[in-house]
Structure 1
Amino acid sequence: MTLKHSDILTIGELAARTGVAVSALRYYEERGLVRSLRSAGRHRRFLRSDIRRVSFIRIAQSLGLTIEDVARAFASLPEGRTPTAADWRQISHEIRSVLDRKIAQLEQMRETLDGCIGCGCLSLKRCALYNPGDQAGKTGTGPRFALPDG
């Protein structure tokens, strides 16, 4: 594959185009979300298509997805070519299921929070309705009924 000069960006150019700090780009590279080429002087160079990848990372993070969620989605992307619209649709479909799970967790948390605030005690030790005898305290620390593993 022959690359034109216009297909290559410095790390600073990629940072400017995406609004992401250079340190974040290095972190994304470390996590395998983007890959750099190296110049003769060992400077990082990125493909223009990495603008889309980094932009997707920013969008995914704004939706509450983790770097691990993004890495799983990116695992299906082709190496060495710009992802197509079909590639992005597939990723979008995969991300939708992650978002659906997060929405369900948030809805459950909202309902639990409303009920807890409604009783007025705000104490899991004293709450006879949600936590008689402080049973939740035996399962771990923190807000046991609001945490996803609670």
Structure 2
Amino acid sequence: MSRSRRISDPLLAIGAVAQRTGVTISAIRFYEGKGLISSERATSGHRRFRKSVIRRLSFILISQRLGYTLDEIKTQLDRLPNGRTPTERDWNRLASRFATDIDARIAGLQTLRSKLDACIGCGCLSLEKCRMWNPDDVASDLGDGPRYLLGDTSEDVGVTVRDR
């Protein structure tokens, strides 16, 4: 590695990466073992990480907090260059793909929040509202699960409040 390369993209010891990210050393090793990040070996045999690993680890942590699995995160990170520091354009492409999915998750959470106190079409029929919107569990004709939270409506099974 040339001297200019070391100055522009210094390699960091695992402890320095852990300190900067707040990720434990064992977790860094775990993520490396899963192929989410990579390291190089110094002549001493110790792991050395490119500074760009800090951003990857931060992305992993945020994605996990948003409920993404490590496999989903890896799929996204695999689209970034592993041998070089990702450019702003690389990250923008990744962010765009994630933004679409996050928007869908937000919409789903808003739907869940707005319908929690109403009939969700799950078949429990424990609320008086359920007997009005899902009499005799007609929502089950649309499939398994909480049909109204999944996007179906009582109109999809031909039930209206007038019918009751």
- After TM superposition, the score normalised by the length of structure 1 is 0.74
Out of 71, 76, 80, the residue aligned to residue 79 of structure 2 is: 76
What residue number does 2:97 align with? 94
Q: Structure 1 residue 47 and structure 2 residue 47: aligned? A: no
Contact 2:115 2:149 in 1 (8 A): no
Q: CA deviation at 1:130?
A: 4.9
Which amino acid is the alignment partner of residue 15 of structure 1? A
Q: CA deviation at 1:131?
A: 4.4
Distance 1:12 1:85 in 2: 26
Distance 1:98 1:69 in 2: 11
SS at match of 1:124: coil
Out of 65, 68, 87, the residue aligned to residue 65 of structure 1 is: 68
My pick for the range that moved more, 29-38 or 67-76, is: 67-76
Q: CA deviation at 1:145?
A: 4.9
- Structure 1 runs (4+) deviating above 6 angstroms are none
Distance 1:47 1:146 in 2: 48
What residue number does 2:144 align with? 139
SS at match of 1:61: helix
Out of 37, 41, 45, the residue aligned to residue 40 of structure 2 is: 37
- After TM superposition, the score normalised by the length of structure 2 is 0.69
Alpha-carbon distance change, 14 to 115 in structure 1, aligned in 2, over 3 angstroms: same
Instruction: Find the structure with the greater CA-based Rg.
Output: 2
Contact 2:12 2:50 in 1 (8 A): yes
Structure 1 gap ranges (5+): 118-122
Q: Structure 1 residue 124 and structure 2 residue 124: aligned? A: yes
What residue number does 2:113 align with? 110
- CA shift digits 1:85-142 (9 cap, x unpaired): 111111110110110121122122112203149xxxxx81444245444565x936xx
